């Protein structure tokens, strides 16, 4: 993967980019939707629901976890995931604010 110059952008711009990167992949959207509809999903549940291989699901889960959208807990040998509602709300707010401010700027 190429080197990006994230340091030249503001924290706000990087945050927006990170959130939208997560929801910019259809598999991640499907994973987030499934977890939101079914509490305490593990990777095997997601493999069956989404139809991707376990290593691929695990990679997508790692990307979603990076932005804090998932809570995980250990039960026995399995990890179970739920949506971090506070971070989901923050993601929604940040992305919505970006579009609102952009729309206002375009109207000037």
Is 106 within a domain?
A: no
The pLDDT score that the predictor gives to residue 3 is: 58
Domain with 14 in it: what CATH number? 1.10.10.10
The pLDDT score that the predictor gives to residue 5 is: 79
The pLDDT score that the predictor gives to residue 39 is: 82
User: Residue 70 phi/psi, 5° resolution?
Assistant: -120, 140
Strand positions, DSSP E, 52-104: 70-75, 78-83
Is 4 within a domain?
A: no
Domain that holds residue 91: 9-101
Is 21 within a domain?
A: yes
Is 108 within a domain?
A: no
Q: What is the pTM of this model?
A: 0.88
10 Å CB burial of residue 77 (0-12, 13-18, 19+) is exposed
Measured between alpha carbons, how far is 24 from 74 in angstroms, rounded to an integer?
28
Is 1 within a domain?
A: no
Is 22 within a domain?
A: yes
Measured between alpha carbons, how far is 95 from 83 in angstroms, rounded to an integer?
18
The pLDDT score that the predictor gives to residue 7 is: 83
Mean pLDDT by 10 residues, the chain (108 residues): 73 92 96 94 95 96 96 93 97 95 88
Looking at the structure of the chain, the number of domains it has is 1
């Amino acid at each position: 993967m190429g080197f990006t110059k994230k340091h030249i952008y503001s924290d706000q711009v990087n945050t927006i980019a990170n959130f939208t990167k997560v929801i910019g992949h259809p598999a991640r959207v499907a994973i987030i939707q499934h977890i939101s509809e079914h509490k305490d999903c593990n990777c095997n549940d997601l493999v069956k629901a989404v139809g991707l291989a376990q290593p691929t699901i695990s990679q997508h889960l790692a990307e979603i976890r990076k932005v804090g959208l998932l809570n995980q807990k250990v039960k026995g040998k399995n990890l179970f995931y739920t949506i971090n509602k506070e971070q989901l709300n923050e993601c929604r707010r940040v992305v919505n604010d970006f579009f609102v401010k952009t729309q206002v700027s375009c109207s000037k």
